[in-house]
Structure 1
Amino acid sequence: MAAVRLTEFHEMVREEFGQVRGDSMLIDHVLQSLDGMTAAEAVEAGWEPREVWRALCVEFDVPPARR
């Protein structure tokens, strides 16, 4: 499982969800699987961007081929 750089993480979010919705999701949507943090809070707290990306994919039913 390859690590994801923070810039790649942000690119994946914007490609999947669009810039406005993706940016909003990162700061507004609380993910229970990330201890009740938003994606931005989780990354800031030290979670690996790949784990945060997976949590977003599960939460928003992103097809496995695009994860």
Structure 2
Amino acid sequence: MRTSQFWQLIADEFGDAYGRVLVEDLVLGECGDVTGRVALDRGDDPRVVWLALCRATEVPKSRWHGIERKHRRRG
């Protein structure tokens, strides 16, 4: 997962502002008792951080892969 995809998932699930607060402040045991920001900054896979956030905040498994987006074709 690219970092940009991580941030899109965060924004879709939690909203941009609250999502950033979670990444900055929520300590994730699965990532070694550090925040998501620290984990990302030290090079952890964004997918690992995303899934740790999902479990820590009890996001239903059905949303772990994000929302389905409909692609519009421009004619």
TM-score normalized by structure 2?
0.81
2:25 and 2:49 map into 1 onto residues whose CA distance is 14
- 1:24 pairs with one of 21, 24, 34: 21
Q: State the shift of 1:6 in Å.
A: 0.1
Structure 1 unaligned segments of length 5 or more: list them: none
Aligned residues between the structures = 64
1:6 and 1:23 map into 2 onto residues whose CA distance is 13
- Aligned Cα root-mean-square deviation (Å): 0.7
Report which of the two has the higher share of helix.
1
Structure 2 unaligned segments of length 5 or more: list them: 65-75
Q: Percent identity?
A: 34
Match of 1:63?
A: 60
